Structure 1
Amino acid sequence: MNSFLLIAILLVLASVGYQFGQRRARSVSGGHPSTLHSRPQYYGFYVALWCGIPSVLLMALWLILEPHVAEWMLISNLPEDIQSLPEDRLSLLLNDVKNLASGNIVSREVDASLQAAADGYASVRQIGNAAMTVVAIAIAVLGLAFARKRISPELRARNLVERTVSVLMIIASTIAILTTIGIVMSLLFEAMRFFARVPWYEFLFGLEWSPQTALRADQVGASGAFGAIPLFAGTLLITFIAMCVAVPIGLFSAIYMSEYAPQRMRAIVKPMLEILAGVPTVVYGFFAALTVAPFIRRTGESLGMTVSSESALAAGVVMGIMIIPFVSSLSDDVMNAVPRALRDGAFALGATKSETIKQVIFPAALPGIVGSLLLAMSRAIGETMIVVMAAGLAANLTADPLEAVTTVTVQIVTLLVGDQEFDSAKTLAAFALGLVLFAVTLTLNVIALNVVRRYREKYD
């Protein structure tokens, strides 16, 4: 059975358990819910948790362990001469068996032994999935019956439910923290391997980026220069152009929606602006490459300027359009959060609406607005697809927005595309770039969150 279908069945059983728990609680109270320790809803949640959590935990554990058990059984059923193959050849054979069992393409001719192994592996997986389904549903039903039987007026259902929910939230927070630590550690360890081959000062302060390392001594065109300054300069140039587009448009939109627009107009305009944040970045990339970049090139040529077919200006303008919702929506929210008493006080002193916005509302909302700008900047720094399609891959150290440039994220993608040897400086350079990018965006996000938190403490 499909895992999603099984989860749906477990959710239905948990819902049934919730209803059974409520009815059982009202039944044991004799029609007087005041005699219960907790409200009937908590008894319903108590039964639902007993119905859902053990079965979901079993399902997760099963999905983790079952593929390894199936692979072990597959290897144990292979002939001894095949089991004694080198690890790499055995791994390729196992991949072919798994692909054949799932109906995918294999890298060798399918013979009788390979087909038999694939049929056996598929049979084991089917039996495992069927067993998981039966056991998970059985445990859910048993949990429902057990929890329903335990319901009594003395059962502290609210305490048990709240304690369980607290544990689940702690587990979720721990997973998020461990994931972040894992990301940082993976970047850090691989970056250390890169810096063991390339000095850190050459990477951070070098002026030439050409990560074509030689695979043999007589290879031509493999310079192996890892100076990341052109990448940082290109990233900052495109981000600066994007912010020049997003900041005025976003702030003016926020001021209009917060202070001037009727409520009906605001209800229409704000969702339309926020739609921009939901457009896939590849669509923005097509728009930049097919519309904005040719328009900029034709305009520049008509003025006698030399404009590259891929330019920082095209990428920056489209990226600025993309991050307008980050500025407008967040700024609108913080401006609406300014207490009404400040507006009334300014009007009582004779200030006009524009004077109130400039001298009262905007200064009061400034910390939140700064936070929105920093969040938008971090989003622009991390963008990849628009730059790939509109600004190119050339690592040029230039401040001319009409020239082709590249960014850190684009080079990370370029370095890791295709079959790569994860022991060369060229590939490891992607992790060093990722570590620098992570540090920059993390710093911007921390600054933004601190500014917003300071704002909320002052005006909430």
Structure 2
Amino acid sequence: MSAGLVILVVFLIASAGFYLGRSRIIRAAGGDIRKLHSRPNYYGLTVALFGAVPALLLTIFWLILQPVYIENQVSKQIEPGDIPEGGSLSLVMSDVRRIADGLDVAVADGVMTEDKIATLDTDLTDLRARLGEVGVAVASDIKPNVFGAATVYRELASGLRMAMAVVVIGVSLAGAAFAMLRIHPGYRARNVSERAIKALLILSSSVAILTTIGIISSLLFETLHFFKLYQARDFFFSMTWNPQFRGGSDLGILPLLWGTLYVSFVALVFAVPIGLLAAVYLSEYASKPVRAFAKPAIEILAGIPTIVYGLFALITVGPLLRDYFAQPLGLGNSSSSVLTAGVVMGIMLIPFVSSLSDDVINAVPQTMRDGSYGLGATKSETIKQVILPAALPGIVGAVLLAASRAIGETMIVVMGAGAAAKLSLNPFEAMTTITVKIVSQLTGDTEFASPETLVAFALGLSLFVVTLGLNVLALYIVRKYREQYE
């Protein structure tokens, strides 16, 4: 039984517990709810919570710990001779998981039967072909121990799924029954249910914090592993990026960091003035019909997929900048350049700046405008000296959001700026960014034991630090220049 079906059964048990608990307490009070400490719905809610919450928490922990247990048990089936030269246990375990999943799909699709699988340990010649029929690709040769590990993986996964279903449903029924026996007319069901809901709200609010901690921890541990294999000094101060998976790599971050900041700077130079001026026009000058049309039209830009922007950069903007600017000025012959990616990315960022800034400007109290006009200020003076200073924190937040979006963009850079890691001031030359190289280093079957792969985590952590620095800088600017009003 799948986890989704188990969760559905738990919700059905909780729903049934709600109505049964509510009916039972009404009968216990003889139909007179005035004899009850709480309203009948609170008693039903108490039964539902006892039936659902412990079972769902158990399901979450089970799903987290089950893969770890299976990996530890199955990896014992793999012998050193089963690991190919230059490979690792993690790559072999990837094949084991793919074979196990492929066998499940093949059985479900009727390509293979359980009896056929039981006889494959002596004849593995057609296994790859059978798995290929269901879209599962594995190593060129499947060794008996690897296949045996895959069958053990299947058996363990199937057994643990069934055990999870039995245990979780049992816990759900036991919790609902326990709550059903506890409730009586004097039971403080409202207090219990409200405390439980408060605990759930606290748990939900901590998900974002725990997720952030998990992301940072995963990046940090893998980065420390990388620095055990590669000198941190060379990573931070080398001006060459040349990964070679056969050894002798130069993994300096400076060319990538320069490309990231350069492309983001060009994009912000293009997007911030246009977006801010558009926001001022829409909030202060545009009539209601114009605003009703223009604001959604601008926001459509944020919904266009980045691959479309990339194609626009590759086919239209890049050749245009090359033919009319780069070649006539003798600055380059390539359509892939920092300026190409920056301009197209800037177009994408305009709604991030304009929409948020427009909302912030509209939130400035009308009394401040009236007071400025009463003192004889013109409309433009009011905007420059009253409205924009009052809206500065929100505008800085909009620019920061746009900057973070620019730093994390990948597809536009791949198709518009190229993949060359270099240090140059020429905006018509091809460059690349940190995010592009993170993707390239983790593409395909990777072995998480080489510096060429682990460098992706160091790059990710560095990008996180850069973004955090932007947040700190924005906070400083807001606090220093913010206008405060009583």
TM-score (norm 2): 0.76
Which residue, 399, 409, 413 being the options, matches 1:383? 409
Report how far residue 404 of structure 1 moved: 0.5
Corresponding residue of 2:55? 55
Q: Give deviations 1:329-384, integer Å, cap 9, x for gaps.
A: 22122222222221222233343433322221111001221122122112211222
Distance in 2, Cα, partners of 1:30 & 1:214: 81
CA contact (8 A) 1:96 1:107 kept: no
**Matched residue, 1:368:** 394
Q: Offset of 1:268 from its aligned partner?
A: 5.1
**2:240 paired residue among 202, 208, 211:** 208
Query: Residues 115 and 50 of structure 1: is their aligned pair in 2 closer, same or farther, counting only changes over 3 Å?
Result: same
Shift in alpha-carbon separation, 1:326–1:27, aligned structure 2, 3 A: farther
Distance in 1 separating the partners of 2:336 and 2:260: 15
- Structure 1, unmatched stretches of 5+, are 77-82, 216-221
Give the gaps of 5 or more residues in structure 2: 84-88, 107-130
Q: How large is the RMSD of aligned CA atoms in angstroms? A: 4.1
Matched residue type, 2:194: E
Distance 1:147 1:385, change over 3 A: same
Q: 2:371 aligns with which of 324, 331, 345?
A: 345
Measured at CA, do residues 125 and 447 of structure 1 come closer, stay the same or move farther in structure 2, by a change above 3 Å? same
Q: Which moved more, 1:15-24 or 1:152-161?
A: 15-24
- Amino acid paired to 1:56: L
The offset of 1:439, in angstroms, is 0.6
Distance 2:69 2:223 in 1: 35
Aligned match for 1:184, one of 201, 216, 241: 216
In structure 2, the partner of 1:46 is 46
Q: 1:451 to 1:279 in 2, by over 3 A?
A: farther
Q: Does the 8 A contact of 1:371 with 1:452 survive in 2?
A: no
State which of 95, 100, 119 in structure 2 corresponds to 1:98: 100
C-alpha separation in 2, matches of 1:417 and 1:366: 42
Residue 247 (structure 1) aligned to one of 257, 260, 272: 272
Query: 1:17–1:359: structure 2 CA closer, same or farther, 3 Å change rule?
Result: farther
Aligned position for 1:289: 314
Provide the rounded CA distance (Å) in 2 between the counterparts of 1:120 and 1:427. Answer: 30
Distance in 2 of aligned mates of 1:443 and 1:272: 33
Deviations 1:116-151 (A, max 9, x none): 997786566556545544554454344344434544
User: Per-residue displacement from partner, 1:427-460 (whole Å, max 9, x unpaired)?
Assistant: 3433332222111112223444677799999569
Distance 1:292 1:123 in 2: 55
Q: Which residue of 2 aligns with 1:230?
A: 255
1:155: how far off? 2.9
Q: Which one-letter code corresponds to 1:140 in the other structure?
A: S
Q: Does 1:310 align with 2:336?
A: yes
Distance 1:233 1:115 in 2: 47
Cα distance in 2 for residues equivalent to 1:228 and 1:70: 38
In structure 1, what residue type is equivalent to 2:257?
Answer: F
Task: Provide closer, same or farther for how the CA distance between residues 148 and 407 of structure 1 changes in structure 2, counting only shifts above 3 A.
Answer: same
Letter in 1 for 2:280: I
Q: Deviations over 1:17-56 (max 9, x none)?
A: 4455555666666677666544555444323322221221
CA distance in 1, matches of 2:13, 2:292: 40
| 3-state secondary structure, aligned to 1:323 | helix
* Distance in 1, Cα, partners of 2:157 & 2:202: 33
Does 59-68 or 316-325 show the bigger shift? 59-68
Of the structure 1 ranges 161-170 and 401-410, higher mean CA displacement relative to structure 2 is found in: 161-170
Query: Could you say which residue in structure 2 is the equivalent of 1:11?
Result: 11
Answer yes or no: is 1:162 the counterpart of 2:187. Answer: no
User: Per-residue CA shift, 1:185-239, capped at 9, x if unaligned?
Assistant: 4433444454456554443343333334763xxxxxx5x4444332222112111
Alpha-carbon separation, structure 2, partners of 1:454 and 1:6: 54
Which string of whole-angstrom CA distances, capped at 9 and with x for unpartnered residues, describes residues 91-126 of structure 1? Answer: 668547514532344547789999999778656655
User: SS where residue 52 of structure 1 aligns?
Assistant: helix
> What whole-Å deviation, never above 9, does each CA across 1:258-288 have from its counterpart, x for those lacking one?
3344556545544444443343333322232
Contact 2:20 2:44 in 1 (8 A): yes
Separation in 1 of the partners of 2:27 and 2:163? 36
Q: Secondary structure at the match of 1:405?
A: coil
Aligned identity (percent) is: 51
Partners of 2:23 and 2:485 in 1: CA distance: 46
Verify the 8 A CA contact 1:100 1:118 in the aligned structure 2: no
Within the candidate set 325, 328, 346, 1:300 is matched to: 325
Task: Give the corresponding residue for 1:327.
Answer: 353
How far apart, in 1, do the equivalents of 2:346 and 2:11 lie?
Answer: 43
- Cα distance in 2 for residues equivalent to 1:353 and 1:320: 29
CA 443–94 in structure 1, closer or farther in 2 if over 3 Å, else same:
same
CA contact (8 A) 2:336 2:417 kept: yes
TM-score (norm 1): 0.79
State the distance in 2 between where 1:114 and 1:225 align.
35
Does the CA contact (< 8 Å) of 1:339 and 1:459 recur in 2? no
